[in-house]
Each structure stands twice: as C-alpha cells, then as structure tokens.
Structure 1
Amino acid sequence: MNKTININLANTFFHIDEDAYIKLQRYLDAIKRSFTDSQGKSEIIADIEARIAELFTERLLHERQVITTKEVDEVITIMGQPEDYLVDEEIFEDEPKSSKSNTRKPHKQLFRDTDHKYIGGVCAGLSYYLGIDALWVRLLFILTTLLSGFGILVYILFWILVPEAATTAQKIAMTGEPVNISNIEKKIKEGFDEVTEKVKSVDYDKMGQSVKKNSKNFFDSILAVILFLFKVVAKLIGIIVLIFAATVLISLLIGLFTAGTIDLWGAQPWREFVDITVDAPVWLISLLSFFAVGIPFFFLFYLGLKILVNNLKSIGNFAKFSLLGIWLLSVIGLTILGIRTATDYSFDAMATETEVLNIVQKDTLEIRVMEAQNLKNRYYHDSDFDIVVDGDEKMIYREDMEFFIKQSPNNEARIEIEKKSQGSNYKDAFKRAENVDYEFSVENNIVYLNNYLTTDYDNKFRDQEIEIIIYVPENTFVKLHNSTRYHMEGNIKNNLNYYSNDLANHTWKMDNHGVLNCMDCPVEENLEDANDDVIEDSIPSEEIDTLNYEIKIDSTHIN
C-alpha cells in the first residue's frame, strides 16, 4: 500500500504516488536550478509545468487514476533528461541510465499562428502543418475566393474550428518540433529577445516622439499589406511566365522533331518548301531556330521559377555563358542564311525561245489555254507554287503564265517564250531561267498554251515565270477562247478599250496600227463611241471657237 498526494500542476488537479511525487519534485527543482541565470525563468518553468500537466492528462484513463513512477518516467523521457540541460546527476542517482531519449518523430498539430497573422493566423498555421510557404496558402485562398467565393468560407471555418497557438508548447507542437525543455526555453527566449529589442528602441527614443512612432507602426502595417499584395501579384506573374515559356519550349521541341533534325514522323511537305526556297539543309535551319528562339525562352522559364521558388539554385555561370554562346552562334548562323537567301533574289534574267507559226494574213488564229492533265500528284494543290511528283522525279510547279498579242513587224506569225527567273547574280539567274520547262502545241491554226511551268527540284524556287508574246500579221483574225480570260496581260490594244478579261469569247482582227478590232461584239457596245463622233461632226470646230455666252444678273433679286 502506497501513500498518494494531491498536487496542483499548472492549475490542473492530479493524484500522484508519493515515490512519483518525489521524483517529479526533484526533476522540477533540477530544471529550476539549471535556469537560475536565464532570462524569463518563471515563464519557462510555467510552460514546462503546463506541458508536463498536458502529458499527464493524456495518460490518465479517468479522473481518479493515480500517477505512478511509470508515468513520471515517460514524461521525463519526452521532456528530456536533466543531464542534457546541465543538471547535477547526483540528484538522480537512483534513475536508471537511458542511452537514448525518445527519437520518435513528433506529429505536427494544427493551430492558428497569431504571431504571423494578417487576419486570423489560419494561413500561417496551415503553412506549418503542410510544410509550405505561407504565401502559397494565402495565394490559394485568394484565388479560390476570386474564382468561386469558396475560399472565404473555408477560411472562416478554419478560423472558428482551429484553436489558436496560445502557449509556448502549442507553438512548438505547431511546427512539428518535440515539445521538450530545450525547445520551450528557446522559444521563450526568442520571444524575450524580440521584446527586449522593442524595449531598447523605446528607451532610446524620446518620449516626445511617441505619436510619431505610433504613426510609423500604422504605416508599417499598411506597407506590409502592400508588400504582401505585391508578392501575390509577383507569384501570379511568375506562374504566367512559367506556363508561357514552357508552352513555347515544348512547341519548339516538337517542331525540332518534326522539322527533320530527328525524322520522327517521316517526310513532311512543308519541309520540301523550305528545302527549295532556302539554300541550306532543313535540319540545320530547324536546329539554329530552336536554339535562337528556345534559349531566351529557357531563361524566361528560369526567371518564372526564380519568382516562384525563393531558394532555387543557380544554374551556374558556366551554363549561362555556354547557352549565351550557343545563342549568339545560332543568331549569326540564321542571319547568314537569311542574307544568302535574300541575295538569291537580287538579279533578274530572261531566256527566250521562238517558234514560227504557219499562219498567213486573213487566216484565223485561235488561242486556248490548257490546264495540267498528267501532273496530278501534287503536294499543296496551290496555283502559285507547288511540288509535283512524276514517277521518281520531283519538280517545282507554278501556274504563272501570261501572254501578250502584238502586231508582227514583218508579217510573220510567231511565238516568243520568255522564261524569267532570279538568282544571286546574272549568270545564276540566266541558268535557272534556261532550266525552266514550258510546253505548248499548234494544231490546225489552234495554239494550245499550258497555264503552268515546271523546273527541276534541284533548280530551287527563284520566282520563275513565263511570259509569251504572240506576233500576229496585219489583217489576221484572232479568236480568243474563254480559257484565256485570266492569262492575258492587261494592256493589249483594242478598239473598244476592253480590259484583258473581256477580250475572251470574241474574234478580233489586227489592223495596220497594231490594234485589235472586234468582229463579233454587240452593236450597242459601240453606240456611245458612235454618238460622240456624230456630235463632234455636227458642230464645225470653227463655230465652237466663236460661240459666246452672255450671263445677265438682275441685282433686284439679290438679297
């Protein structure tokens, strides 16, 4: 049978065994002696006793249970052995040596941190519990509040349901650190240091500046709120920059794989367009473009990370200068390729082919334009530029043909085919012009003109085009088929001043002035010109010059 004692520990009533009481009393006395010269000794002892009372309460199954030596030993193990805090060991000679204290990792407890609060300390408390920066938690609440209003409701619930970290033990438990003598002492001393600094600052200030100091504290609070809002905006900007830069980098990477550097999905038609317009391999252009555009966006991506993550490690000066060098080389390479490509269009040249037609005066020459019949395997089906495959041969295809009708100076019907191209110099342009392929045919006084030209794939695209001049003798009839409507130059001379499109579907006769006269145009189309001639003939020119007009103004009718 053991004697029990009733004690009041931190305003909490306990029944404790006499032996356990003696051990607990010695433990508390040893702690008090270890904090003899410590600042805030009474607050430290009070918090330690409150923590011990809390631990005893957790171990009691009912109110009348007696605390034994076992419970005291467990509490001392959690709070720390006295020898760890410069306590005399002879006081605890009957205490069995413990090799290690309890190393079990403590669990975090959720409290509201009112020491670092803006409103209720909810976000600061959650930041400790979740192990993330408080700014992220505040940003999450702001976003959910702006988007749906749900954030403010959750915040109010946390404010009501989550207790405030009022005691030192609760503040330590909130951070997940063990609530022992060392951490309690450290926490209280940190608080005293802060108070001491504030007291010192007040002591050095004159009493007459109290109003000024209160105003300063008010404006400091406003400044803190403004700085917090700036931090939130900066984080939002960082997220936007990060997403934008990442999207561009992923797109560039996909473009690099599809452009020919790594032929992942096979040949793409647009790659062939680049191949015949730029005098450089596609893989080189895509690789230089990837580095020239991608490296700035990589640094933009890194900037977004730096905004979001405060302790992000630097990539190092070696990596920075290496990327800068690669970027400069890529920009210089693209500039050189651009200049070379531009010079390929700096000179014009023309190669001419002539064929005599078996047409004499008063014959009728019919002109028709034919579309491509056998070139069906085309990449783009574009009239201005295309690539066609004829068997195993690839060709550049272009529907750029115009024809012009002129009077023959020697009454000899003939066709001149002018092949035009551009190049880096005259010789290069002339060579490319000669390599242009164009075909036409003549059957029974009918000229069949193709509406397209072709050239070899290796000849590259250099704005090749065809211009045809058809020389017609005097008094020769020219019948223009409807297919010629969009292939005639606009300044063909005719007696009705028709634009080239309107010349089609009519028969014309070449006069001795090089003017085409319509043979089958409706009569009413000539009435206006005929009326003008009649008016001019009805009034002699000498009478027109002698006509006088007299204007009389009656001043009585002028207001």
Structure 2
Amino acid sequence: MNKTININLANMLFHMDEDAYNKMQRYLESVKRSFANTPGSDEILADIEARIAELFHEKLDNERQVITIKQVDEVIAIMGQPEDYMVDEDIFEDEPHTGRTNSDHRKSKKLYRDTEQKYVAGVSSGLAHYFNIDPLWIRLLWVLLTIGSTGGFILIYGLLWLLIPEAATTAQKLDMRGEDVNISNIERKVKEGFDDVAQKIKSVDYEGVGNKVKSGGKSFFDTLGDIIMFFFKVIGKFIGIILIIIGASTIIGLFIGMITVGISDMVQIPGLNMYNLVDASNMPIWLVSILGFLAIGIPFFFLLYLGLKILVNNLKSIGNIAKFSLLGLWLISIIMLIVFGIKQAAARAYSDTSELTEDLYFRDLTDTLDIQVVAYDTRFRNKRRVELDGLTITRNEAGEEVMVLDDVSFYIERSRDSIAKIEIVKESDGSSFKKAEELAEKINYEYKIEGNTLLLEDFLTTARENKIMNQEVRVNIFIPAGALLKYNKESGFNCWRFHAKNDRDLDGCEIKGEIWKMGADGELKCQECPEISDIEEDDGNGRNKIRINKNGIDIDIQDDGESFKMKIDEEGVQIKAHENDANGKNEININEDGINIDVDDNHPEPEAPDPKI
C-alpha cells in the first residue's frame, strides 16, 4: 500500500503515489539544475511545469484519480531527459545537428492568435501559422473580402478575435507552430525571445522611446484594439446569454412535451391519444417522442453548451466520449425518424375509390323535390364525443367507436333519362391500390327519402382502427330535365361544399331557399328570382341611350336643342333637363335626403327661391 501525496503543479491539483512523486521531483530538480545559468530559466521552468501539468490532466479520467509511476514515465518520455539537450549557445547555431530535430516529427497545430507579429489582434498571423502560409496573403485576403462585402467581414474578424485564444505561453506558441512541447523546444523558444529583446535593446532609439512614453505609452492599434475587444466581449456575453436562454427553454419545453405525450398514451387521456389515428407505422408514441426529443434537443444542448463556453472562460469540457455519444444518439434518432416518415408516406402512397349508384324514388317527381343536408350534430347530439377540427370520435348505435369526418361534397347534375339517381363515390388512401379500395369500401355513408324530400348527411363514418387515410365522399345527384327542386341546409353545414351550376352563378351558400328547374343543358334555372335584364340602345353617336342592368336604369336622350337625362340606382332618382339655346339648366334629385329641385335660367325671378322638400 503506497502513500498518496497532493501536489500543486502549475496551479493544478494532482494526487500522486509516493514513488511517482519522488521520481517526478528528481526529474524537475535535474531540469532545474540544467537551466541554472541559462537566461530566462524561470520562464523555461514555468512552461515545462505547465506542459507536464497539461499532460497529466489529459491522462486522468477524473480529478480523484491517482497518478502512478507509469504515467510519470510516459510524461518524461514525451518531455525528454535534460541530458539529451545541449543547454548552451551552440543549440542556436546555424550548423545542422545530427540528433533528432523538430522537423523529424511534427504534431498537429492548434489555432491561436500570434500577438508577436500582429498589426491589430494577431488573427491573420495566427491563421498563417495554422495554414503554413505567409501572413501577408491572409491580410490581403481580409482587405479584399472586407471591400467586397462592404465591411461585413469586419464583424467576422471581430468574432475570430473574440473566439481564438492568444498564444501567451511558450507551450501555446509551440502548439501554434506545430512543434513538440518538450524541454528542448521550450528552452529554444525562451532564448529566442531573450535574443529578440537584446537585439531590440541594442538598436533602440532612446529619444524616440522617450517621446512615445510621453505621448501615451500604447500604440494606436493597441488602444483601438482594447476598445473593440471590450465591445466584442460585451456582445459575446450577450450572445452567450441568448444562446443559453434559447437552448434551455427549448430543452425544457421538449422534455415537458415528451412527458405529456407519454402520460397521455399510458392513461389514454381523451382528446390527446389521437396519435394512433394518423400513425400507419405501428411505432409506439413514446418511442417517437423520445426520438423527437433527441433529434431536436441534442443540437439545442450544444447551443446551450456554446453559450456557457462564451460566458464561462474556464468551463470544463464535457469530454469526447460524451460528445461522440450524443452525436451517435442524434444520428440514430434522425435515421429512425426518417424511416418513420417514409413508412407514413408509403402507407398513403396509393388512392382508390369505391362507387355505388342507386335510383331515387320520390313520391311525385312532377312536384318540387326538396333536398336537405343534415349536419352530423343532429345525429350525434346526445352521444359522448371528442371533437377536433373536422374530426369527431364517438360511438355508433352498436356501441362501436367510430370516426366522423366532414369530407363530403355534393354535386347536382342532369340525369340522362327521366329517373333521378344518386351516385356515392368513396375514396381513400392506402399502401396499395387494393388496400386503398378496401379502406374506401369500409366508409359508411347514408341517405334516405321521405316523400319528396331527399335527406343527405354531410358526414361520413368509419371504424377507428381504419385510421385517418384521407377518406372522402362525393355525392352526385342526377335530376331529370324539367324537374323542380329546392335546396335547404341545417346550421353547421359548410355550404361551400354544395355545388350546382345555375343561371345566376350562385354558390352553394346562396342558392338555398329558391325553387330551381333543371334545364336541358344541365343548368338550374331560378323560377322565382327577380328578372335581370341588360338593355342598351345607342344611335351610334353616343346619344339616345337606354341601359337597364344590375346597376340600375340609365336614360340619356339628346335632341338638337334639348338634353334629358334620367338615372335610377341605389342612390335614388336623378333627372336633368338642359336647353342648349337658352343656356339654362333644370335638375331634380330624389334620394334618401328628400327631393331637391334646382332651376337655373338666364332670367331667374328674384323672388322665387329654390324649393327644397
């Protein structure tokens, strides 16, 4: 049994057994001794410890796991032994080395902002390192895209500035270039930084530096960058809040909906358990609800996670196992929902009909036939039922559960002989023509004749187990030529589903109550409707007009010396008389305001005012 020791490495807490701790301590002490007289040794050691802590963190499954000597050996193998590297100036000479170099093995690069070669924020130089091209081409591309998009790519640059982290540590700078983060590369990178600083100190213009310090200390782009970064951070936080709200509310709503659907299916809540009426795949509703929850909820979960990442800088990752597991569940749910949709569509891919034609025997065909449409409310008024839009679930006289649908239409046509007939065309969808025909035959539609009255139901019924398969009924009524008929309907009937060609061009809602006669041309003729005439006479010169139409009566008579106009319409009666040779005018208006007489002559009598009644 080994003793466990808690250590703090680069501000990260780890649990190590005693043997692993002793070996790691000896290793760090040897590394420290090797850099004892090296410029920037403190920064080198800090970066080495940060890299070791990062490697330990990658190898742990959870925070309570203890680091063993095996894991220490693996980390040391990655970092390398101090004696493997030359800790002197010769490592930076231009002569080729015989040992292993960084070019022998390249790791995958990580995307960072290179602030050492920045002009604004280092986005372009960071992208250049990632794609291994000159930063100049990236900057030229930004300029061209910004001009071409009238400034739209400035927003994209700002988002990249916000989302791409800065390469601050030596390890991050090595990751940005795709170099191994080991002792040799960390030392080389740190010493390069010291050499750059020394070179700048040698060539510095102290007078210019003094002027810059006096003028403000920061460059224009640094100050501008800080301002822009502040606003982008504020916008980013706001976007993160919006993403969290959208993701969380959607997931909560989907969860409540899934639970509600599952409960309604288990306890058979009336009005909610309608799923089996439209489902033709026999897939349980609880499974469909779970698949829908996963298909929609998982993307919104990642949206929620993205919002949290934006708001919380140090948010711990959910891990690759969780990410790929959720992705797998999402793909499975999408595939199963697609299969479910294909089955639903295939179950309604075909359509067929079932037809029935019967003769209608009225009491007296020479008398007026009365056609009445009975709404389903009349028949099922006293029965328990659940109603949706156009659908009613109730029980018939035998106690069987049936669906009542209002997809029934009526057409009045002329019979080819002297016998009245009725044709009932039932239509349904199905997975095949045979199945569609079978479902059409299972549709129930009834009518009856009482004396000279034909009672038509405006609904169809079918057993609940037949499901909703776009069942429809068309009722064609054939009336002999010369027969008189009258159409009435009860309240609740959609009159626009009643069709009859007539001489008044009226729809099914307007022809009710009138007596119609079936013409030889198949058109109904109204028997008691007011006459509509359209008479127009004209002498060819625009004078002597008489118009009688739906707008009223318009009479315009012009003679050589006189003009007479009379108009009768909904506004009243207007009479105008005008004598051209006398330049006078006489006008009489009769409307709802009364009678107005206007007499205009060349020699009006002063004592005769215009009378008005």
Q: Taking structure 2 as the reference length, what is the TM-score of the superposition?
A: 0.49
Cα deviations across residues 51-104 of structure 1 (Å, max 9, x unaligned)? xxxxxxxxxxxxxxxxxxxxxxxxxxxxxxxxxxxxxxxxxxxxxxxxxxxxxx
Instruction: Pick the aligned partner of 2:300 from 294, 297, 301.
Output: 297
Is the alpha carbon distance of 1:326 and 1:316 closer, same or farther for their aligned partners in structure 2, counting shifts above 3 Å?
A: same
Q: Does 1:470 align with 2:492?
A: no
Which protein has greater RCO, CA pairs closer than 8 Å, 6+ apart? 1
Note closer, same or farther for the CA distance 1:207–1:491 as it changes in structure 2 (3 Å cut): same
Flag the 1:245–1:205 CA change in 2: closer, same or farther, 3 A. Answer: farther
Structure 2 match to 1:418: 425
Distance in 2, Cα, partners of 1:375 & 1:225: 73
2:392 corresponds in structure 1 to 386
Return the match for 1:480 from 471, 487, 491.
487
CA distance in 1, matches of 2:386, 2:204: 87
Equivalent residue in structure 2 for 1:329, among 303, 327, 332: 332
**What secondary structure does 1:501 align onto?**
coil
Match of 1:245 among 228, 247, 257: 247
- After superposition, residues 357-376 of structure 1 pair within 5 angstroms as 357-359=360-362, 361-372=365-376, 373-376=378-381
Alpha-carbon displacement from aligned partner over 1:512-535 (angstroms, at most 9, x marks no partner)? 33332222223xx3434xx489x9
CA distance in 2, matches of 1:330, 1:269: 27
Write out the 4+ residue segments of structure 1 that deviate beyond 6 Å after TM superposition. 196-202
- Partners of 2:356 and 2:198 in 1: CA distance: 103
C-alpha contact (below 8 Å) 2:409/2:498 kept by paired residues: no
- Does the CA-based 8 Å contact 2:412-2:476 persist in structure 1? yes
What are the superposed Cα offsets for residues 220-243 of structure 1, whole Å, 9 maximum, x if unpaired?
344334334333332222222112
Displacement of 1:304: 1.6
Aligned 1:125-164 pairs, distance under 5 A: none
Q: Measure how far apart 1:487 and its partner are.
A: 4.0
Greater helix share, structure number: 1
Shift of 1:405: 1.6
Query: Which of 393, 402, 409 in structure 2 is aligned with 1:395?
Result: 402
- Counting strand residues as a fraction of each chain, which structure ranks higher? 2
Question: Which amino acid letter does the alignment assign opposite residue 418 of structure 2?
Answer: N
2:291/2:334 contact within 8 Å kept: yes
Residue in structure 2 matching 1:521, options 503, 524, 529: 529
Task: State the Cα deviation string for residues 460-518 of structure 1 (Å, max 9, x = none).
Answer: 11221211111222332212124498546676333444333332111222233333222
Q: Distance in 2 between matches of 1:413 and 1:205?
A: 113
User: TM-score, structure 1 length as denominator?
Assistant: 0.53
Residues matched between the structures, number: 334
CA distance in 1 between counterparts of 2:400 and 2:202 reads 94
Q: Which residue number corresponds to residue 452 of structure 1?
A: 459
Report the CA distance between 1:283 and its aligned residue.
1.6
Pair 1:440–1:330, CA change in 2 (3 A)? same
Secondary structure of residue in 1 paired with 2:509: helix
Q: Distance in 2 between matches of 1:510 and 1:263?
A: 54
Provide closer, same or farther for how the CA distance between residues 503 and 225 of structure 1 changes in structure 2, counting only shifts above 3 A. closer
- Post-superposition offset of 1:300: 1.1
Which residue is 1:224 aligned to? Answer: 226
Task: Give the letter for the 1:321 counterpart.
Answer: F
- The more displaced of 300-309 and 228-237 is 228-237
- What's 1:282 paired with? 285
Relative to structure 1, the CA distance from residue 266 to residue 358 in structure 2 (aligned partners, 3 Å threshold; closer, same or farther) is: closer
Deviation of the 1:323 alpha carbon: 0.9
Aligned with residue 444 of structure 2, among 420, 437, 440: 437
Post-superposition Cα deviations, 1:414-473, rounded to whole Å, max 9, x if no partner, equal 211111222233222212211111121111121111111121111111221211111222
Tell me, what secondary structure is at the counterpart of 1:244? helix
Residues 233 and 500 of structure 1, relative CA distance in 2, 3 Å threshold: closer
Residues 1:262 and 1:271: Cα distance change in structure 2 (over 3 Å): closer
- CA 1:513/1:224 → structure 2, altered by over 3 Å: closer, same or farther? closer
* Secondary structure class of the residue paired with 1:512: coil
Provide the C-alpha distance between the structure 2 equivalents of 1:201 and 1:233, rounded to a whole number of angstroms.
40
Matching residue's letter, 1:253: F
Q: Distance in 2 between matches of 1:262 and 1:515?
A: 53
Between the aligned partners of 1:274 and 1:217, the Cα distance in structure 2 is 71
- Cα displacement string for residues 33-66 of structure 1 (whole angstroms, at most 9, x for unaligned residues): xxxxxxxxxxxxxxxxxxxxxxxxxxxxxxxxxx
CA distance in 2, matches of 1:287, 1:261: 13
* Per-residue deviation, 1:399: 1.4
Change (3 A) 1:496 1:268: closer
Pairwise CA distance, 1:254? 0.4
* Mapping 1:137-286, distance limit 5 Å: 203-207=201-205, 210=209, 214=213, 217-219=218-220, 220-260=222-262, 267=269, 269-273=271-275, 275-277=277-279, 279=281, 280-286=283-289
Contact 1:256 1:262 in 2 (8 A): no
* Cα 1:411/1:266, change in 2 over 3 Å: closer
Q: Which has the larger radius of gyration?
A: 1
Distance, in Å, in 2 between the alignment partners of 1:266 and 1:423 is: 27
Which residue identity lines up with residue 422 of structure 1 in the other structure?
A: D
Cα distance in 1 between the residues matched to 2:399 and 2:245: 46
State the superposition RMSD in angstroms. Answer: 3.3
Task: Name 1:498's counterpart in structure 2.
Answer: 506
Match of 2:309 in 1: 306
